[in-house]
Structure 1
Amino acid sequence: MPLTTRRRAGWSWRTLLPWAIGVVPVACGLAVMNWQIDRDLRASSHATAAQVVEHVERILDSLSSTAHALLPLAGSPCTQVKLALRGQVTRNAFVRSTNLFQHNTLYCSSLFGEFDEVVDASEYTNGTLWLMDGNSVTPGHPLLVYRASEGDHGAISTVDGDHLLTALRLIGPDDTLQIRVGNDWMGKDGIVHKGVPPTAATAAVTLSSTRYPFSVYGGYGAEKQGQLLRSHYPALLSLLMVLGVLAGAACHWQIRRATSPRAELQRALEADEFLPYFQPVVRKGDYRWAGAEVLMRWNHPREGLVRPDLFIPYAEHSGQIVAMTRALMLHTAQSLAPYAALLEDGFHIGINITADHCRDLSLLDDCRTFLQHFPPGRVALTLELTERKLIEATPVALELFEKLHDMGVMIALDDFGTGQSSLNYLRQFKVDYLKIDQSFVAMIGVDALSLHILDTIIELSGKLGLGIVAEGVETEAQRDYLAQHAVDFQQGYLFARPMPAEAFLEALAARSGVSRLPQDAPPEIMRG
């Protein structure tokens, strides 16, 4: 419905006032949302740039320690020291090659042994760091080179530019990020340019390392603010429009009372209309059901099953998601507990939580109540952190996660690799599992870049000692690829679709060799 109309002769202020009233909440709401988005973008841009600086500093720490370890060998014959050079490459994950020079001539390399190449100290920023656009071995491929010298001799260590690209693309997938060393800089395209990096159109930030001569330029494109307004606030924008239209229309005619979404969710909660659906998770090797993710479905009395994307975002925005999750956990426990014998010991049950659950310690009581329904060790409860709202590392949140781990509850990062804070969560919270987003799994055999990111996530989980779950597995090719890469658990339509409690229990019974469920099934299950 338009908020303005063509003015006709004879209209008075009484006719125009309703339209003006309708415009006010929309205009004010847009102004506040734009201000909030701009503020959030600036904070996010600064935090992302800081993470990139920290990551590159860790890479350079490895290069620096390697170069200084080899510095005493500079000047020795190459035949005597080349094994030491290669040993440093083997022991350091970031180091690609090591080299020795004297009298401004590189005479020994871990790649070729004896070598002869001019070393120009003026090409290194502060005499130590150089961002190259390639060398004779890999022309056009970026390299970051660290130089340590003492008198007329010294050592050089290099890192492949792919490590820098991984940091730029994983830490800030939506940011405009560049690394600058002296008069050279590189962005996410992996090409080394000369001069000063272009300034980002939105939330531009420049952070310089206090330990090494490099800087990180961050920010977002001009379209980012509009994208966030459309993608993060659709419910709020719709609500503003509805409020504006209703405020204006109420001055002209009587309308039927619109049902408040909040009131409708509260009514559904009191009517016990939110039901658990279970999507099995299979383990590697034998692909047996090792657990299940519990998904919320709304069994509306008139509309039937309502898709979660139609009510979960509003429930999170309105703060009702905590009560809805508590009811879902109780419903799940009451549905599964009478049939706990069908579950293997340590059967994983995954429940999604958001930032709203981390503002107090009431989640501890909910988890304790859930686990008390089952024999000790029968169920392993896993809370999956979603990133629709940022979870801040407040003292309350840190205490909550610590006590959850003491209780035996595990923590998983849901949709890992797509949110802006996934790596930050790994640093701030004790996490047990990473759940690879289905968008990366879908690119297996299709998109090489996404496949590299997927491999990096799998490698990262291994280095951190974390379990890993792949979501959205729909083809045998995806299943086999993940199995070859030792992914612990898989989940997707290839194995089973989400199903109501009764169907889930019947499938469990069939897999356990039980012909049918007991006839005295509790009413929670029979409602399905």
Structure 2
Amino acid sequence: MPLTLKMSRKLTDRYALIVLSGLLPIVLGIFILYWQANRSLESVATRTAEEAVRQFDLMLNNAVLSADIVLPMAGQDCHQVELALRDQVTRRPFVRSVNLVWDNQIYCTSLFGEFKEAVNPKNYTNGTLWLMEGNTVTPDEPLLVYRKQKGKSSVLVSLYGFHLVNVLGLINQKTRLLIQVGDAWVDRYGKVQNVPLPHYPVGQSSVASPQFPYRVVAGFGKDEVWRSIWFEYPGLLGLLVFLGLMSATTVHWLKKRSSSPTHELQRGLDAGEFIPYFQPVVLSETKQWAGAEVLMRWQHPKEGLVRPDLFIPFAEHSGLIVPMTRSLMAQTALLLAPHANSMEPGFHMAFNITARHCQSLELVEDCRDFLQAFPPGHIRLVLELTERELIVPSAATHALFAALHGLGVMIAIDDFGTGHSSLSYLREFNVDYLKIDKSFVAMIGVDALSRHILDSIIELSAKLDLGIVAEGVETEEQSRYLTLQGVKFLQGYLFARPLTATDFITSLQARPATADHL
């Protein structure tokens, strides 16, 4: 009997130790993750608000330029100046209308010519800005009106609310954003409100414009922290549960194995197991091949063909992504250079690069070696910037991109519209192309909001004189829509899945490849 009691007590102690050792890392880990996710969301909200302010200031600067030109015309006969007003609407991006005012009375507009309507300066915050619910032309669309006055003369320049709503919705879709002018505010849904501002429970940040009397408020809903933890840290959550089920000896064993992915990647790199696959890019009008994106695959001796999402993050974290990309470029040149005659001049080859590639000028030499393997001017090399890690603008990165452009290398932003830094990249780097993320393409004919976002990206590329490539095209409907919208290059399963080098070369030789200059 005593023996039985002693054994029960030891069994109880053993299970109690397992439960305690399991709960401790789970509870402590979730607490740390919650704190980290909250801080990360606060940082994202602030950066997003700052980016929105920069975009709105850019719009308003166009309004200021129009007002400065038109203000001296106030008081002149409307028939003499209405063409000049319309010229400003045509020339200035984002400007909806220009109106001349004399003694607080609108008498001439770019929309109607002669027009009579009283102006109340009190409607304008600091006498400068007014966020309107709409006007007689667009009653359901918000307008941001800039006012400039000199004596009895004044000018009203309105900015179309569609552009405001686009900025609020495009910069970061997960962040709730609004712009406030005086007591009025509007968010991505486009309805001007005059009620107190909503409170964002997580990461609320307010950034005021240094030039104009408005501010942008950003934040997240109350469930965003848990959503962020669930979607941003799934591996860590799984690790916490795993650690909670293991004893101290097993935890110690896992700790020793934490570096094994890096070792396995290095082994695979030394063994030449990372190989190129090629997904063609076609001209939207003719569906002829204009180039291809080179994708990395891992031909593992035991696991077979490994998906990139299972090893690329480890490669980026460890820094091995740089020599792996170098190997991929060298293999591609070796495989395709003998078949250069099957590709017309201008045929482009695209490779993905990350922040790791931008830390030195070695990438320039890699690109030079790749281009020298082909006849001069025969291949157009494109580097696609990914956003898994942020590329920080610096003197070194600017020197790198300048050297790349000097070689004739073109820069594209991959998955444009899904990352918080896409617009920042447009501002900081000399970008040549945008690649529309497949999530927007998939919503063609399904989701009206996503289609509007897609159209806005296409319009943005046209205004910035950038090329545009749509990826993830899987249906004829998507192909037709994108072609009608002026998207010149398409990529997706509708045309071809990623091909092995052998299949790609065979297909390339079997069909004429008409490459347009990118």
What's the TM-score once normalised by structure 1's chain length?
0.87
Sort the Cα spacing of 1:398 and 1:108 in 2 relative to 1 into closer, same or farther, 3 A: closer
The CA distance in 2 between the partners of 1:84 and 1:258, in whole Å, is 68
Q: Aligned-pair distance for 1:245?
A: 4.0
Contact 1:20/1:248, CA 8 A, preserved across alignment:
no
Question: After alignment, is 474-483 or 164-173 more displaced?
Answer: 474-483
Sort the Cα spacing of 1:243 and 1:368 in 2 relative to 1 into closer, same or farther, 3 A: farther
Aligned residue in 2 for 1:113: 113
The CA distance in 2 between the partners of 1:26 and 1:359, in whole Å, is 36
Q: Which runs of 5+ in 1 are unaligned?
A: 1-7, 514-528
The CA distance in 2 between the partners of 1:113 and 1:133, in whole Å, is 23
The CA distance in 2 between the partners of 1:473 and 1:89, in whole Å, is 36
Sort the Cα spacing of 1:73 and 1:380 in 2 relative to 1 into closer, same or farther, 3 A: closer
Aligned length: 505
Aligned residue in 1 for 2:463: 463
Q: Aligned-pair distance for 1:417?
A: 1.0
Q: Aligned-pair distance for 1:505?
A: 0.7
Aligned residue in 2 for 1:190: 190
Contact 1:434/1:461, CA 8 A, preserved across alignment:
yes
Aligned residue in 1 for 2:209: 209
Sort the Cα spacing of 1:69 and 1:403 in 2 relative to 1 into closer, same or farther, 3 A: closer
Please tell me the residue identity of whatever aligns with 2:433: Y
Aligned residue in 2 for 1:298: 298
The CA distance in 1 between the partners of 2:253 and 2:456, in whole Å, is 60
Q: Aligned-pair distance for 1:281?
A: 0.8
Contact 2:288/2:512, CA 8 A, preserved across alignment:
no
Please tell me the residue identity of whatever aligns with 1:161: G
Q: Aligned-pair distance for 1:15?
A: 6.0
Q: Aligned-pair distance for 1:346?
A: 2.6
Q: Aligned-pair distance for 1:355?
A: 1.6
Question: After alignment, is 488-497 or 41-50 more displaced?
Answer: 41-50
Deviations 1:324-369 (A, max 9, x none): 3233222222222332332222321111121222223332333233
Contact 1:98/1:158, CA 8 A, preserved across alignment:
yes
Sort the Cα spacing of 1:461 and 1:29 in 2 relative to 1 into closer, same or farther, 3 A: same
Aligned residue in 2 for 1:163: 163
Contact 2:18/2:246, CA 8 A, preserved across alignment:
no
The CA distance in 2 between the partners of 1:241 and 1:323, in whole Å, is 34
Sort the Cα spacing of 1:399 and 1:31 in 2 relative to 1 into closer, same or farther, 3 A: farther
Sort the Cα spacing of 1:259 and 1:362 in 2 relative to 1 into closer, same or farther, 3 A: closer
Aligned residue in 1 for 2:516: none
Q: Does 1:364 align with 2:367?
A: no
Please tell me the residue identity of whatever aligns with 1:221: G
Contact 2:129/2:147, CA 8 A, preserved across alignment:
yes
The CA distance in 2 between the partners of 1:264 and 1:313, in whole Å, is 14
The CA distance in 2 between the partners of 1:251 and 1:479, in whole Å, is 51
Q: Does 1:84 align with 2:66?
A: no
Please tell me the residue identity of whatever aligns with 1:329: M
Q: Aligned-pair distance for 1:34?
A: 3.7
Aligned residue in 1 for 2:280: 280
Q: Aligned-pair distance for 1:22?
A: 4.8
Sort the Cα spacing of 1:337 and 1:240 in 2 relative to 1 into closer, same or farther, 3 A: farther
Q: Does 1:139 align with 2:139?
A: yes
Contact 2:67/2:156, CA 8 A, preserved across alignment:
yes
The CA distance in 2 between the partners of 1:162 and 1:253, in whole Å, is 57
Aligned residue in 2 for 1:5: none
Sort the Cα spacing of 1:82 and 1:512 in 2 relative to 1 into closer, same or farther, 3 A: closer
Question: After alignment, is 294-303 or 435-444 more displaced?
Answer: 294-303
CA RMSD of aligned residues (A): 2.8
1:149-160 matches, within 5 Å, as 149-160=149-160
Contact 1:438/1:472, CA 8 A, preserved across alignment:
yes
Q: Aligned-pair distance for 1:27?
A: 4.8
Question: After alignment, is 390-399 or 33-42 more displaced?
Answer: 33-42
Q: Which runs of 5+ in 2 are unaligned?
A: 1-7, 514-518
Sequence identity percentage: 53
Q: Which of structures 1 and 2 has the larger relative contact order (alpha carbons within 8 angstroms, sep 6+)?
A: 2
- Secondary structure at the aligned position of 1:131 is classed as strand
Q: Aligned-pair distance for 1:427?
A: 0.8
Contact 1:128/1:148, CA 8 A, preserved across alignment:
yes
1:187-336 matches, within 5 Å, as 187-248=187-248, 250=250, 260-336=260-336
The CA distance in 2 between the partners of 1:253 and 1:388, in whole Å, is 30
Deviations 1:223-248 (A, max 9, x none): 22222322222234334444554443
Q: Does 1:383 align with 2:383?
A: yes
- Secondary structure at the aligned position of 1:127 is classed as coil
Question: After alignment, is 372-381 or 205-214 more displaced?
Answer: 372-381
Sort the Cα spacing of 1:398 and 1:240 in 2 relative to 1 into closer, same or farther, 3 A: farther
The CA distance in 2 between the partners of 1:253 and 1:132, in whole Å, is 64
Question: After alignment, is 158-167 or 39-48 more displaced?
Answer: 39-48
Aligned residue in 1 for 2:3: none
